[in-house]
Amino acid sequence: MVSTKAPEDAYTAEPFVPDRGGLTALRKAAADCHGCPLHRDATQTVFGAGNKDARVMLVGEQPGDQEDRQGKPFVGPAGRLLDRALEEAGIDPGDAYVTNAVKHFKFTQTEPRKRRIHKAPTLREMTACGPWLAAELAVVEPELIVVLGATAGRALLGSSFRVGQARGAVLEREIHGRQEKLVATVHPSSILRAQDDEDRRAAYEGLVSDLKVAAQVLAAA
């Protein structure tokens, strides 16, 4: 039985996570998650999507503006760039499962057009959302996790994670009670923020290089 109530200061999604069922049941339950205050301003919960039998799970930070509006992860510019990089690295995006460490969009709003500006989630917010990610891992059982960016890395590997130090290497850690293989890389949105074309090209090539390591892990398995 899933509780539909949690104390406002509880900061955990645990009461909302069903104890049985697949991704459909998880997605339905997550739509009503009030495990932390981020649900108040977000349009909707943005749960993971993709192949339930995926060999690889890609974990990002949180939904962006377009993801929040459409209710699907990685549907904005960063998602399109990620799909292109995956294909170039030899990984079929259609065979992957994509999700975020945090399921609600956290933002600040500007005047007068009220543009919504991404704001990084806190460690407390990431921890609160952890039960959803644990449930996704338990259902999908991927052979490999690709960690996209520093926030996803901290959510999975702890607050000492630094993407610059860990990227492109194959890591093995216990994550939510499962022994997992992971490859870390930058979040695709960081490439879009590059200052010029040369920096953007170099950053993109780095992303593809890291994803090729992931492809090699999958091929070897």
Cα(101)–Cα(10) distance, integer angstroms: 18
Whole-number percent of the chain with pLDDT over 70: 94
The tens digit of pLDDT for each residue in 134-160 reads 999 999 999 999 999 999 999 999 999
Cα(101)–Cα(48) distance, integer angstroms: 10
From 16, 21, 19, 18, select the one nearest 36 (Cα to Cα): 16
149's CB contacts (< 8 A; 6+ apart) are 60, 61, 163, 185, 186, 187, 189, 190
pLDDT tops 80 at residue 217: yes
Count helices and strands in the chain by DSSP H and E runs: 8, 8
The tens digit of pLDDT for each residue in 45-68 reads 999 999 999 999 999 999 999 999
Q: Give the number of other Cβ atoms within 10 Å of residue 193's Cβ.
A: 11
Q: Where do runs of H (alpha helix) occur along the chain?
A: 23-30, 65-70, 77-89, 123-140, 150-157, 163-166, 188-192, 197-220
